C-alpha cells in the first residue's frame, strides 16, 4: 500500500518559515475578510497523522484556543522525556532514525503523513522522504530567520502539480517528487 509524506507550509519570499525570533505573526498579516483557509482543510482531510519537530509542537502548544488537530500528532524529540501531561492525549513522542519512525507509524495505519517544522522537513528531505510539497509564499522579505530548506546531499527533482493565488497575494505551489522509477524505500 502506498504511503505519502507531505509538507504544507508557508514561507516568506526569502524562504523563511519563522522570523529571527521564531515569530510567525507575519503569516496572518494578509487581509482575509472571508476567512479562507487557503486550502488547509482539503489538505488536512487527506492526512492521517502529523509528524512535527519539538519546536513546532511547542509553538502549537502556545496557541490560544482549542487544540487545532483532529489527527494524531507525533512529536520528534531527542530531548523531551515525555509529552507534557496536559497534551498526553493529543500527541505522542517519537524518536530514532526517520525510516524507523515511519515504519512505526505505518504499522499503526497512518499512511498519509503531514510533516511539519523546519529542521524536521529538512531532515526528511536529506533522506529523500518527502513526496509532496505545498508551499505558500507570502509577499514579505524577513531577511533572516528559520529557513524552510537547507543543504542536501544531492539534487531532488519535482514536478509542478499546480499553482494557485489566494487573496490576490499568496502564491501556493504544489510539487510532487519525481524519483525516476526508483520508489521511496520506506
Ligand X SMILES: NC(=O)c1ccc[n+]([C@@H]2O[C@H](COP(=O)([O-])OP(=O)(O)OC[C@H]3O[C@@H](n4cnc5c(N)ncnc54)[C@H](OP(=O)(O)O)[C@@H]3O)[C@@H](O)[C@H]2O)c1
Interface positions with ligand X (CB under 6 A): 9-10, 17-18, 22, 24, 27, 52-56, 59, 76-80, 98, 116-120, 123, 146
3-class DSSP string for 27-61? HHCCCCCCCCCCCHHHHHHCCCEEEEEHHHHHHHH
Find the shortest distance in angstroms from Cβ 94 to ligand X.
8
Cβ proximity to ligand X: between 6 and 181 the closer is 6
Cβ proximity to ligand X: between 95 and 163 the closer is 95
Cβ proximity to ligand X: between 126 and 176 the closer is 126
| Sequence-ordered list of residues with C-beta below 8 angstroms from that of 159, at least 6 positions apart, any chain | 175, 176, 178
Closest CA to 6 of 49, 41, 61, 67: 49
**Closest CB to ligand X: residue number:** 53
Q: What are phi and psi of 76, to 5 degrees?
A: -85, 125
| Residue 42 CB neighbour total at 10 angstroms | 10
Find the shortest distance in angstroms from Cβ 111 to ligand X.
20
The CA-based angle 45-49-55, given to 5 degrees, is 115
Cβ proximity to ligand X: between 134 and 177 the closer is 134
Find the shortest distance in angstroms from Cβ 62 to ligand X.
9
Find the shortest distance in angstroms from Cβ 158 to ligand X.
19
Separation CA 2–CA 178 (nearest Å) = 15
Cβ proximity to ligand X: between 117 and 177 the closer is 117
Find the shortest distance in angstroms from Cβ 181 to ligand X.
27
Amino acid at each position: 500500500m502506498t504511503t505519502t509524506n507531505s509538507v504544507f507550509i508557508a514561507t516568506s519570499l526569502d524562504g523563511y518559515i519563522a522570523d529571527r525570533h521564531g515569530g510567525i505573526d507575519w503569516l496572518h498579516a494578509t487581509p482575509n475578510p472571508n476567512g479562507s483557509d487557503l486550502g488547509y482543510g482539503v489538505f488536512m482531510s487527506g492526512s492521517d497523522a502529523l509528524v512535527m519537530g519539538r519546536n513546532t509542537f511547542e509553538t502549537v502548544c502556545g496557541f490560544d484556543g482549542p487544540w487545532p488537530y483532529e489527527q494524531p500528532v507525533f512529536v520528534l524529540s531527542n530531548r523531551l522525556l515525555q509529552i507534557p501531561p496536559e497534551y498526553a492525549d493529543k500527541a505522542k513522542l517519537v524518536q530514532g532514525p526517520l525510516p524507523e519512525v515511519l515504519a512505526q507509524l505505518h504499522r499503526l495505519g497512518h499512511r498519509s503523513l503531514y510533516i511539519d517544522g523546519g529542521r524536521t522537513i529538512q531532515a526528511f528531505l536529506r533522506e529523500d522522504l518527502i513526496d509532496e510539497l505545498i508551499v505558500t509564499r507570502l509577499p514579505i522579505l524577513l531577511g533572516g530567520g528559520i529557513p524552510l530548506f537547507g543543504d542536501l546531499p544531492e539534487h531532488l527533482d519535482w514536478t509542478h502539480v499546480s499553482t494557485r493565488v489566494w487573496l490576490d497575494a499568496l502564491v501556493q505551489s504544489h510539487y510532487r517528487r519525481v524519483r525516476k522509477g526508483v520508489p521511496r524505500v520506506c
